[in-house]
A and B are shown apart, each in its own frame.
Chain A
Amino acid sequence: MSDSDSEGGRGESVLARVVAPFVDRSVAERLLISVAAILLSIVVGFALVLVSGRIADCSTAAWTLPFTGIGFCYDPVEVYVVLFNGALGYPFAVGDPGLFNPEWTPFNLSFGLTLSETTLLIFTGLSVAVAFRAGLFNIGTQGQLVVGALSTALTVLALAPLLPAGPVAGVVLIVVGTAAGAVGGGLWGAIPGALKAYADANEVITTIMLNFVAANVAYVLVLEVFRAEGSSVVATRYVPEYAQFRPWLFPASSDFALLALLGGIAFIGALYYFVEHTPLGYDLRTSGVQAAAAEYGGVNAKLTTVRAMTLSGALGGIGGSVWVLMSEGRWMASIPDLGFDGITVSILAGNNPLGVLPAAFLFGVLKGGALEIGFRTDVPTELVAVLRGLIILFVAMPEFFRMIGRYTGVTGGGLGGADTVSTTEPDETAGGDGGETDA
């Protein structure tokens, strides 16, 4: 880029400014890319919906291609409108001339469902992210969540009879129950951490295996010991109503509590502070990016591994606590795959705690929106899953958009072919040369 200054490309400098966000890596860039990714995925998804709509059988076409009269069973515009609009509870009126829906309040059922998913994914996303920052790939958040959820349910059920029912007992039970979830998940996460540190066992394998162990041990325990009497599913008794997060403002059926979301956001802030502004966080991320340098800097690699996995497990465990105390009210065998979605959330967030919030929210919107599409349209849920996958796929490849940014940055400048070569080559060789280049 710098090289072409001499050629006096004024247009180029303007263009450079436009393209710069794509080439530099900043928060703004990340947001821009995410929006571009969603738009592109919609374009691709649009075509997919049309094609499937052409293959499917229906009596009346939901959408007709303008000027051609070719009919399609599914209306791609409606699909995406419902997906995003519905996830928020229709702030924009459907079919009405007015854009904004005057009846809309944020405290509706659909938005509650979206935020409920967001809240849970904040915890599992943070769990995966903190391990990632220490250079550890924790696939075991799901297992840690299962163990944390069971610890919470059993602790609250055991303590509840000892306290007089009421809001005070509720606060105590929620705090103690969440702490129990953190301890349970933390210990479960410490196992692969210790195995990695002291027995050189690959954490990817051990965490995956411990997921099965957690799920099945918990299943058998509940089936044989803690199963609620007369229950048709493998589940514990419900924890008392007063020991669950209150829905506040949102409808109870949304399984969402604002307090839990605020708690999750507080955890995001705390974890960000921990990673960026504490000596232990410095140790942790230094181990993650360059283990040999961390060791040189006096970081105890084994201890840091165990610490990071324990912290990661504790966050997964708290995710389980919130699932019990906010969503389900009890432990039951069919726990959703929140831990696995947490991996994608973390990667979308660039393993940055601050990025977990928008990433988890995107997942929440897709989840809430998918439910709405199911209610409102004939589009099969499988197709909705494909559309969700497309959005995540595109958002997860920012490098692709950076490449487009760089490409348009060079060719869009109205420079000749020869200049294009001379402006790009130095950058490439400078990068390749590494070490000792002059100037």
Chain B
Amino acid sequence: MNPAVHLDGITKRFPGVVANDDVDLAVERGSVHALLGENGAGKTTLMNVLYGLYRPTEGTVRLDGEAKSFDSPRDAIDAGIGMIHQHFMLVDPMTVWENVVLGNEPKTWGGLRVDREAAREAVVELSERYGFDVDPDATIAEISVGEQQRVEILKALYRGADVLIMDEPTAVLTPQEVEELYGVFEELTEQGKTIIFISHKLGEALSAADDITVLRDGVNVGTVAADGVTREELAEMMVGREVLMEPATSPQEAGERVLEVTGLSVEDDRGVEAVSDLSFELRGGEILGVAGVDGNGQSQLVEAITGLREAASGEVRYRGESMRGKSRRDRIDRGMAFIPEDRQERGLVMSYDLTENGILGSQHDPPFARVGRLDWGAARDHAESVIEQYDVRPPDAEAEAESLSGGNQQKFIVGREFERDPELVVATHPTRGVDIGSTEFLHDRLLDLRAEGKAVLLVSSKLDEVQGLSDRLAVIHEGEFTGVVDPATVTEEEIGLLMAGESLDDDSVEGAALHDAADDGADAGIGGVGADDEERAGDEEVDA
């Protein structure tokens, strides 16, 4: 039997770049196939070839063994291929069923009138057939991101798709929605649909796919069955060398007290208390991890420390000096580096090139500013050195920030902040959206800073990241630390409990009762940090 999709020796060249080099990809009917690779490995390009957006320079696309030539996505759709982009293309004020039929409406009166009843009926039927729990009459603005994604899938199915291509489908989902999506995958494949999804996350490929094809630098490194491969093997295929999944930490003498937070309360933009009476201290040579479900006051906490938000009460002392009334500028000048969670709003000026972005925060300091003028030559050298050290692609100091992919934007920000020679690094989701090769590098750099005696406050929703790097791990829930634990000995269940707001007393840690409680209470919690999500739907709380 022929595979449902067979990409035969696909090569796609752009001027100066070979995005895909003689890639073979065979996908069996009724299977879920993950296309795995780092940022820029050529995954999306390959799928755009399949979807008719690009014409291959060489090679053939075969569906069920039959060679096809697509001039446009319209041809691909007619041949039964549907693509769901990472950013949905839905009309917010319109209802679910209207969005599904949009552009392919059943018509009456000789094509003059949309047959609303028939259209709605068709959508309801389709959604029931695949067990999608979506209200056809709700507007897109009313439903969750996970449901919006199902509407996108319905759209593709309505147009007769047999093969569904999904570009980073979990990027915008909450952990619970990711689980639901895997359920949708099963439902679809049971009914004979074929799914190809693009990802750069190992865990996702391993748990959702039947087969995994790894792309690296545009070349197919290999196709493996998901149940016959380990994380480490996959990581090595992706990166091309052995990857240490666990960062190698070494014991480190804690230095002097760098940050001291006492009784800190911070309000969010609506005036609701987001951080309540929080106290902790952080010493040089120490990494304090803060784990928690997004939106539990992490944003307000780091903003209060870095000077972007005023504290309602309490105090932040930095190297023995009270930061009350100290501006953001004062704190930058005193050696605070800050990797913000919202890189496109705060971390980078999107319309500036990297040279200009490289001095953001240092625009008044030498060597960039001398006697009231900016030395663009020095700024350019600086940007180029960050680009080189942190492997920012494309390596072009004149590239505008908005032209870079999310992972490369992040690498540039991290590089800029680390190279500030800080005493304190406040890092929020430092590796969000960054591929594993670069993640490993950024982790090493964080550990270097720690070895140099710098203090690091690491806020991350990746549980393995905070657990692997931190010397102490604080778990935050509704603006309070529910516990500060030793990351080396704590279990995921215990962290999950803390994230759900439960307290952890010594008795229950040993007791069997813990596990029951963990199952009930911590599901949300563990999921919330365990899945390495990047641009989550939850981002809206950032600046809300």
Contact = CB atoms under 8 A, between A and B. Distances in A.
B360 A292 contact: no
A401 B37 CA distance: 41
B397 to A, nearest CB: 16
A422 B72 contact: yes
A106 B316 CA distance: 68
B53 A426 contact: yes
Nearest to B359: A282
A297 interface: yes
B363 interface: yes
A53 B201 CA distance: 72
B360 A425 contact: no
B1 interface: no
A276 to B, nearest CB: 8
A434 B89 CA distance: 13
Given A3-B54, A289-B351, A438-B43, A432 B89 contact: yes
B40 interface: yes
A435 B85 contact: no
Given A5-B15, A297-B363, A435 B86 contact: yes
Contacts of B37: 438
B113 interface: no
B168 interface: yes
Nearest to B340: A296
Contacts of B107: none
Nearest to B168: A436
A429 B85 CA distance: 9
B20 to A, nearest CB: 8
Contacts of A438: 19, 37, 39-45, 198, 405
Contacts of B406: 435-436
A336 to B, nearest CB: 35
B14 interface: yes
B72 A425 contact: yes
A200 B40 CA distance: 44
B460 to A, nearest CB: 19
B71 A421 contact: yes
Contacts, number: 143
Nearest to B42: A439
Interface in B234-291: none
Contacts of B15: 2, 5
Contacts of A439: 14, 17, 19, 40, 42, 44-45, 218
A296 B308 CA distance: 7
Interface in A284-337: 286, 289-290, 292-300
A439 B86 CA distance: 15
Contacts of A281: 374
B360 A293 contact: yes
Contacts of A294: 349
Interface in B311-338: 327-329, 332-333, 338
Contacts of B19: 438-439
Contacts of B57: 6
B95 interface: no
Interface string A200-226: 000000000000000000000000000
Interface string A1-33: 011011000000000000000000000000000
Interface string B154-181: 0000000000000110010000000000
Nearest to B379: A282
B443 to A, nearest CB: 21
A435 B360 contact: no
Given A292-B543, A438-B40, A282 B346 contact: no
Given A277-B374, A438-B40, A418 B346 contact: no
A295 B55 contact: no
B189 interface: no
Contacts of A435: 86-87, 405-406, 433, 535
A429 B14 CA distance: 16
A279 interface: yes
A292 B303 CA distance: 12
A341 B53 CA distance: 47
Contacts of B349: 286, 289-290, 293-294
A437 B44 contact: yes
B73 interface: yes
**Interface SS of chain B: helix, strand, loop or mixed?**
loop
Contacts of A279: 363-364, 368-369, 372-374
Given A290-B350, A438-B41, A297 B361 contact: yes
A298 B327 contact: yes
B496 interface: no
Contact of A293 (B17, B44, B345): B345
B487 interface: no
A372 interface: no
A283 interface: yes
A6 B13 contact: yes
B347 interface: yes
Nearest to B375: A277
Contacts of B168: 436
A278 interface: yes
A362 to B, nearest CB: 27
B348 interface: yes
Interface string A404-439: 000000000000001101100110010011111111
A426 B360 contact: no
Contacts of A300: 327, 329
Nearest to B55: A422
B48 interface: yes
A127 to B, nearest CB: 22
A130 to B, nearest CB: 17
A195 B280 CA distance: 39
Contacts of A432: 85, 87, 89
B346 A293 contact: yes
Given A296-B308, A436-B86, A277 B72 contact: no
A333 B369 CA distance: 46
Contacts of A426: 48, 53-54
Given A435-B405, A439-B40, A2 B14 contact: yes
Contact of B374 (A282, A299, A418, A422): A282
Nearest to B40: A438
Contact of B360 (A3, A286, A429, A433): A286
A277 B373 contact: yes
B75 to A, nearest CB: 9
A290 B342 CA distance: 13
Interface string A262-288: 000000000000000111111100100
A3 B71 CA distance: 12
B376 A277 contact: yes
B407 interface: yes
A422 B14 CA distance: 14
Which of B327, B338, B363 neighbours the largest number of chain A CB atoms within 10 Å of its CB? Answer: B363
Contacts of B89: 432
B26 to A, nearest CB: 20
A146 B244 CA distance: 70
B53 A433 contact: no
A280 B57 CA distance: 50
A242 B361 CA distance: 50
Interface string B500-544: 000000000000000000000000000000000011000000010
22 contacts: A277-B376, A282-B359, A286-B352, A289-B349, A290-B349, A292-B346, A296-B308, A296-B328, A296-B338, A297-B361, A297-B363, A298-B364, A300-B329, A422-B53, A422-B55, A422-B72, A429-B48, A433-B44, A433-B85, A434-B87, A435-B433, A438-B37
Given A290-B349, A296-B328, A429-B53, 14 more contacts: A5-B15, A278-B372, A282-B374, A296-B360, A296-B361, A300-B329, A421-B71, A422-B52, A435-B405, A436-B405, A436-B433, A438-B39, A439-B14, A439-B42
Interface of A: 2-3, 5-6, 277-283, 286, 289-290, 292-300, 418-419, 421-422, 425-426, 429, 432-439
The 9 tightest CB contacts between A and B, nearest first, are: A438-B44, A298-B329, A439-B19, A297-B360, A296-B346, A439-B45, A418-B71, A421-B72, A435-B406
